[in-house]
Structure 1
Amino acid sequence: MNVVILAAGMGKRMQSALPKVLHPLAGKSLLGHVVDTARTLSPTRLCIIYGHGGDAVPAAFAATDIVFAKQEPQLGTGHAVMQALPFLDDDTPTLVLYGDVPLTTSASLKKLLACAAPGSLAILTVDMPDPTGYGRMVREDGKIVRIAEQKDATEAERALTEINTGILIAPTPHLKRWLASLSNNNAQGEYYLTDIVACAVADGVPVHSAQPGAIWETLGVNSKVQLAELERIFQRNLANQLLEQGVTLADPARLDVRGTLVCGRDVTIDVGCIFEGDVVLADNVSVGAHCVIRQARIGNGAQIKPFCHIDDAVVGAAAVIGPYARLRPGTTLGEGAHVGNFVEIKNSQIGNGSKANHLAYIGDATIGARVNIGAGTITCNYDGVNKSRTIIEDDAFIGSDTQLVAPVRVGAGATLGAGTTLTKDAPAGKLTLSRSKQVTLDGWQRPTKLQK
């Protein structure tokens, strides 16, 4: 089929320079949600109608399967679909979607497609307790005969509760003919796409309808208030899916997933956690409160304590992270590794059973197994121009307040004394330290403040 997505609106009520359809919901633009849903239907042509925001919308979707058509000026939904006509294949029907209606599911669209007999027009409708502002479905003898827009509807028509969602599928040759006959003689002075229903009835073309699984699938975004409402609907739906899969959520209302979260068995997630990008939590993982985890894989039985930030990293099985730890891109932790409070690790590999439990910075380092990193340790990886690597071999012990000036290597089983500044390789199995001689000065007096 052809799919046309209308995404040209200004969105004045958003109070933003960003085009409305590019505002994010769950870490993805509104339009991005609609495009992804459309792709599940395997369309042969996918056309986006853009307008306000200039080239920002096409620039956000550099995909070969999408064509763009600009609507300028914006003269209504019917006029918007007209801009797509040169790109449509007459041999397949055309489905019309909206770039600011992000939560419509592919299942509901498939129900619509199933009710659209060849040569007929099919519309997604919904019964809404308060239909104010929506076009009403006007039926005679149970059959749809037209759509009455709110501003043009009679009092009797405004009492109807079945509303038009705007989502429809039509035979493309009929659609082209109906669009050519539209008039803007209405309260808005616009060309309404909904007027094609009356055209279909006049031509004797059957008009069918289907309803979505839930009203929220058809809700659009016209303000930040509505955007926030849909965000919570999306997150609660996703939380319910996780709960059904057996994930323990301390509070389903305090979870944000802005990407894809895959969980194994017996996973526990505390309140206020944010997951971005593609995140995998293996079996028996526990995530403490207020963690931010992005583009990461967490191994079986790992414990992520509260207030940790994990970004593009891999955490091994049975590892213990935090609280207040930060794993930056390129970090890989082995099985049973410990990273404690106020430890930052960047572009480093930490071996099985190694520990950095307190107040350390480890950057551009390769650390073997069973290594102990003392409090206050720093790998000095940057000289202002170049970054160099630190290598610490298995079973080494790094004393507290040590600076390792890269490039440098610590041999297997070596010990660095506390307070060492290491500028040369430390041999395996030996104690290396650099420390000024301790001196005590007899007769020294602490200075005191002068009295004014």
Structure 2
Amino acid sequence: MLKLDVVILAAGLGTRMKSSEPKVLHKIFDKPIIDYVIECAGKLNPENIFVVINPSMNRVVEHLKNYNVKIVFQDEPKGTAHAILCSMPYLMSDNVLVVNGDTPLITPETLLKFIDIFQNNEVDLAILSFYPERDHSYGRILRDNKGNIKKIIENTDMTSDSQSIKEANSGIYIMNAKILELVKNIKKNLKKGEFYLTDIVEISVEKGCAAQAYPIAKEDELIGINTRYELFLATKHLRDKVVKQLMESGVTFYDIETVWVSPSVKIDKDTVIYPNVFLEGDTIIGQNCIIYQSVRVKNSIIEDNVQIKDCTVVEKAHINSGSTVGPFAHIRPETVIGKGCRIGNFVELKKSTIGDSTKAAHLSYIGDAEIGSNVNIGAGTITCNYDGKKKNKTIIEDDVFVGSDSQFVAPVKVGKGAYIAAGSTVVDDVPSDALAISRTPQKNIEGWAKKRRKQK
């Protein structure tokens, strides 16, 4: 494998994004743009990865601490060639791969193929090129009548003659030490007042260096993100790619145009995904599941034969096999639902463990609780877990029946097999097999309603 450094150009301020957030920190699904590029570069096993940024990008500096990369500051926005000059004092390899920080869809497979071609053809400078089918503003590859590259023509410098050129520049280069020295010869573009790295091609050819462009990239890999619309296009393309791969592995999607599935999500065969579903983060979904419409699942594990019904949110939770959740349920972080459970409509679970075959079918809040197996949670049940200073735990052991409209003022424990009468407020522990009942005596005042109506 060729030894090389990778330089990621990410100093653009992204003014067209109309945002206070640096462009490269805008997210595709749940990951910033720059992360895709860094992770792709890391799969090439380079000697070093350098990220060139503007010194004002404090949030980018903080974010890059998550990666083993070296930061290079480009003090002034003087163009791509100037960015390379800023990184040159720190480079440690004779060969450098230059990529853009705003092209998150470029794949390691394409870059590895590009590196192999560079190495096998023994050229000094290689340009990754492609043939776009959509309208674009990429520079064009100008070749001589023998097919050798002569120069790159920027879109702003196009003439009527060059408009017919189809081959486009991706902005990705590999260059050796000889070419890096020639970067110093690039002159400022008079129209833009910047130093364009694209000029290195013409300079290299004039100096007799071996330069060539290789049209091996796909257009969709090279979507550059400068606007919110381009961010959407990149996200959509990645979604389509992920969904297609999942369908090929045995997952059914009813409407691929309305689902959004992060690349980090894993789904097993014979699972069915309805429209308007969002699956994000490190979510794992097992076999034979049904995810109904308008569900959002993030960073959660859903085991085999689970049904998540309409309009349910699941975050950082674990749902064991055979359970049904929803519709309109909210499963909050650190919740574990056992096997064969039924968590119904308008039920909210937070930081709770639910035992196997337990049911909470309607309109309940269970927070900071340990619920055993085969428990019935009646409609309107609430664990009163917060005392104004701290969260307290409710423990309900196996085989407990909880009547509707019950409240548990934590900390409290209900023993195995106990019954809680409907409408009770439980403030003390309940022994196993006991009946807990907490109600004021009912009083009927005869004729009261009739008298009230006469007063009106």
TM-score (norm 2): 0.95
Counterpart residue number, 2:430:
426
- Count of aligned positions: 449
Over 3 Å counting, the alpha-carbon distance change for 1:132 and 1:259 in structure 2 is closer
**Alignment partners' CA distance in 2, 1:95 and 1:209:** 14
In the TM superposition, residue 259 of structure 1 has moved relative to its aligned partner by 5.2
Counterpart residue number, 2:127:
123
Greater displacement, 288-297 / 206-215: 206-215
Q: Secondary structure at the match of 1:46?
A: strand
**Paired residues of 1:364 and 1:390 also in contact (CA < 8 A):** yes
Over 3 Å counting, the alpha-carbon distance change for 1:114 and 1:50 in structure 2 is same
Match of 1:100 among 83, 99, 102: 102
The alignment status of 1:152 with 2:157, answered yes or no, reads yes
The alignment status of 1:447 with 2:447, answered yes or no, reads no
**Alignment partners' CA distance in 1, 2:20 and 2:412:** 50
Identity %: 37
**Alignment partners' CA distance in 2, 1:264 and 1:301:** 11
**Alignment partners' CA distance in 1, 2:399 and 2:17:** 58
Quick one: which amino acid aligns to residue 319 of structure 2? V
Counterpart residue number, 1:38:
41
The alignment status of 1:77 with 2:80, answered yes or no, reads yes
Over 3 Å counting, the alpha-carbon distance change for 1:449 and 1:314 in structure 2 is farther
List alignment gaps of at least 5 residues for structure 2: none
The alignment status of 1:176 with 2:195, answered yes or no, reads no
Match of 2:23 among 1, 4, 20: 20
1:195-233 Cα deviation digits (max 9, x unpaired): 111222233222233334521111211211221122211
Greater displacement, 114-123 / 396-405: 114-123
**Paired residues of 1:19 and 1:52 also in contact (CA < 8 A):** no
Counterpart residue number, 2:368:
364
**Alignment partners' CA distance in 2, 1:403 and 1:130:** 61
In the TM superposition, residue 12 of structure 1 has moved relative to its aligned partner by 2.0
**Alignment partners' CA distance in 2, 1:129 and 1:421:** 68
List alignment gaps of at least 5 residues for structure 1: none
Over 3 Å counting, the alpha-carbon distance change for 1:206 and 1:361 in structure 2 is same
Q: Secondary structure at the match of 1:447?
A: helix
Quick one: which amino acid aligns to residue 10 of structure 1? L
Counterpart residue number, 1:2:
5
In the TM superposition, residue 64 of structure 1 has moved relative to its aligned partner by 5.1
In the TM superposition, residue 53 of structure 1 has moved relative to its aligned partner by 4.8
Greater displacement, 102-111 / 202-211: 202-211
Over 3 Å counting, the alpha-carbon distance change for 1:353 and 1:381 in structure 2 is same
In the TM superposition, residue 150 of structure 1 has moved relative to its aligned partner by 2.3
In the TM superposition, residue 154 of structure 1 has moved relative to its aligned partner by 3.6
**Alignment partners' CA distance in 1, 2:271 and 2:134:** 40
Greater displacement, 210-219 / 400-409: 210-219
**Alignment partners' CA distance in 1, 2:11 and 2:233:** 22
Greater displacement, 93-102 / 181-190: 181-190
Quick one: which amino acid aligns to residue 242 of structure 1? L
Counterpart residue number, 1:29:
32
1:267-307 Cα deviation digits (max 9, x unpaired): 11101111121000011111000101011000110111111
Q: Secondary structure at the match of 1:226?
A: helix
**Alignment partners' CA distance in 1, 2:342 and 2:237:** 37
Q: Secondary structure at the match of 2:264?
A: strand
The alignment status of 1:231 with 2:258, answered yes or no, reads no
Q: Secondary structure at the match of 1:109?
A: helix
The alignment status of 1:377 with 2:381, answered yes or no, reads yes
**Paired residues of 1:393 and 1:412 also in contact (CA < 8 A):** yes
1:400-452 Cα deviation digits (max 9, x unpaired): 1111111111111100100111111111112111111111112323535977x
Counterpart residue number, 1:326:
330
**Alignment partners' CA distance in 2, 1:63 and 1:365:** 35
**Alignment partners' CA distance in 1, 2:285 and 2:143:** 51
**Alignment partners' CA distance in 2, 1:322 and 1:409:** 27
**Alignment partners' CA distance in 2, 1:356 and 1:332:** 14
What is the aligned-residue RMSD (CA, Å)?
1.7
1:129-184 Cα deviation digits (max 9, x unpaired): 4665321111111111211222334432232111111101111x223311111111
Q: Secondary structure at the match of 1:260?
A: coil
**Paired residues of 1:338 and 1:353 also in contact (CA < 8 A):** yes
**Paired residues of 1:108 and 1:211 also in contact (CA < 8 A):** no
Counterpart residue number, 1:143:
148
